[in-house]
């Protein structure tokens, strides 16, 4: 008797008044309308969001590249400061 060992998974608790529905994998289509609806929908969503997303990334990249160049410039010694050294 397996009842003495404990309950099996799936029988751990009794749930009442909950209805679940399922569809057999053989009854559903894996990727229906992916080319007729999916690709145009992706293009529409991309084009509607591109002007909201791209400008902050461009500004961020410009600030980052300027900061990196400025850091490299300031890191170097000024040769004019050492002209009169012996």
**Over the stretch 24-52, which tens digit does the pLDDT of each residue have?**
878 778 777 878 888 899 999 999 999 99
What's the pLDDT tens digit per position in 2-11? 555 667 776 7
Q: Distance between CA 73 and CA 4 in Å, rounded?
A: 77
Give 47-66 as a 3 state SS string: HHHHHHHHHHHHHHHHHHHH
Q: Distance between CA 72 and CA 55 in Å, rounded?
A: 26
Q: What is the pLDDT, as a whole number, of residue 13?
A: 77
Rounded percentage of the chain residues whose pLDDT exceeds 70: 92
Q: What is the pLDDT, as a whole number, of residue 38?
A: 84
Please give the model's pTM, rounded to 2 decimal places. 0.51
pLDDT above 60 for 60: yes
* Neighbour count for residue 64 (Cβ, 10 Å): 10
């Amino acid at each position: 008797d397996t009842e003495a060992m404990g309950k099996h998974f799936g029988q751990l608790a009794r749930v009442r008044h909950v209805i679940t529905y399922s569809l057999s994998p053989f009854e559903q289509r894996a990727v229906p309308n992916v080319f007729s609806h999916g690709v145009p929908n992706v293009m529409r969503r991309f084009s509607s969001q591109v002007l909201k997303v791209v400008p902050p990334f461009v500004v961020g990249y410009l600030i980052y590249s300027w900061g990196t160049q400025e850091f490299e410039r300031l890191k170097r010694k000024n040769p004019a400061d050492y002209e009169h050294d012996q």
